[in-house]
Amino acid sequence: MRYQDRLAEGALGKYAAALNARAARAGLPGRLTADGLRDRILESGGRCEWCDVDLVDAEFELDHVLSLKQGGANEARNLVLSCPDCNRRKGQKHPARFAAEIFRETGRETKLIARLFARYEIEAAQQLALFDRATGASPPSVDASAELTEVPPYNWTK
């Protein structure tokens, strides 16, 4: 869909039906309506709620902040207006992890990113762990005090 001040009722109805069908396939409750989608879309002010890019008269997508596969609700409060790039890049990532990625790339703390940082108690400059805590794996340790004992076999001179 393209972002405009007046969104076609039929297109909104089809979008809501598609999101509802995805939720039903996942066995999740929640039913979106065209009116609920319109309100949620217009609340965004025509900007991607992840990266803050202007979407007025441009293609947009609706993103479940917490994805349906992760058990996110199929409700308007779990939807954000997203540019196609952000929606595809986020995929099944946890929203806090994606918020940190976007913040590192853009330096912008959108309202959505600020809410996620507050909800998950993340500081904007905090680097998230490289590995899931659920797996028990930890990042490799690096001994910063260790000296380089061998000269690498690279010759950068001509």
What domains are defined for the chain? 9-132 (3.30.40)
Q: Evaluate if residue 4 carries a pLDDT over 80.
A: yes
Q: What is the mean pLDDT of residues 116-126?
A: 83
Q: What is the pTM of this model?
A: 0.77
pLDDT-derived band at 26, boundaries 50, 70, 90: very high
Among 55, 60, 12, 58, CA closest to 36: 12
* For residue 147, pLDDT beyond 60: no
CA–CA distance, 62 with 81 (Å, rounded to integer): 5
Rounded average pLDDT over 52-69 = 96
**What pLDDT, on a 0 to 100 scale, did the predictor assign at position 151?**
36
Tell which residue, 83, 94, 88, has the closest CA to residue 134. 94
Q: Evaluate the CA torsion angle 108, 92, 95, 140 in order and state its sign.
A: negative
Give the pLDDT band (50/70/90) at residue 123.
confident
Confidence (pLDDT) at 129: 53
